[in-house]
Amino acid sequence: MLSIYDVSLKDLENYFEQIGDKKYRARQVYEWLYRKRVSSFDEMTNLKKDLIERLKNQFSFTELKILTTLEDEDVKKFLFELEDGKKIEAVLMYHDYGNSLCISSEVGCNMSCAFCESGRLKKQRNLLPNEMVLQLLMIEKNLNIRISHVVLMGIGEPFDNYDNVMKFIDIINEPLGIALGARHITISTCGIIPKIKMFAKCERQVNLAISLHASNDSLRSKLMPINNVYKLDDLIKCIKEYIEQTNRRVTFEYVMLKDINDKEQNALELVNLLKGMNCYVNIIPYNETSHIEYKKSSKDTIDRFYNILKKNNIDVTIRREFGSKVMAACGQLRANFKEE
């Protein structure tokens, strides 16, 4: 049975038309789901009983189970169990501009980035739209808060689950539903070029972030196997085309790894790679994990790297460190739970 949280407003309107009812019923159901946050069709008191029974036979109310939470300053991490027993995680970060939620899009990940905990546990399956929507709904309910920003940067490569991710975005962006602004949603990809080209044509105002993490092909191929399929020059060419087509700025994420990608030469290579582009670099201090040998660059090294980019007119920020005490590295909580 299809989860009601898998259904976009347009799909629901089509459903009501197909059964000979009025399209506006879809708006009524969406209001109950996402404004009033009911947990059963019986609570939808402005619907007729026969229609409620029909909805019960067609759709189900799914849910996730919160297995555990860990908390640090300005961050809270959730480990969820799906209905089939598989585990995912989400990280809530409290910013001065609002509450940002980093969600998972897959159970595991096949990208195998050398520094990433998620890649140690290979992809088992894609998440359905409802399993992404429910990460947001359950955290809002659990903490009685409003999520203002969503980032698809948790477990999984979002563009390896493209159709479900785009449907999820449509559901949370729907003005009659959760009404999360498109510019408050960010998709982070390691660089699947065909999907970036599809995304450029989708006419959504959603932000795009590229997990770059290296300044040249040989280093990126060592850190990120995807670079053996889509080379750095091809990726940069694709991003330039994306920027020209959409007129939107792109974020390049750069995790700083001690003595690996944090040298002055790397900063200068990055300048040459990105100069003239409508982009900015988000330098990310590495969250160390006991399972992976990489270490975090020192503050002085990070500052020196930042200053080289800044001096060469590259827009750059250093992301505030989050969750070093709550296993905030992507996939770390899930991996530790599984091993225990």
Catalytic residue among 190, 238, 279, 330: 330
The verdict on whether 89 is a catalytic residue reads yes
The helix (run of H) or strand (run of E) holding residue 106 is strand 106-107
Name the strand (E) or helix (H) holding 250.
strand 250-256
| Distance between CA atoms of residues 72 and 140, nearest Å | 18
Please tell me the distance from the alpha carbon of residue 238 to that of residue 194, in angstroms, as a whole number: 9
DSSP symbols for 13-68:
HHHHHHTT--THHHHHHHIIIIIS--SSGGG-TTS-HHHHHHHHHHEE----EEEE
Catalytic residue among 13, 89, 106, 157: 89
**Three-state DSSP state, 254:** strand
- How many whole angstroms from its chain centre is CA 48? 38
Report the distance separating Cα 207 and Cα 176, nearest Å. Answer: 21
Active site members: 89, 330
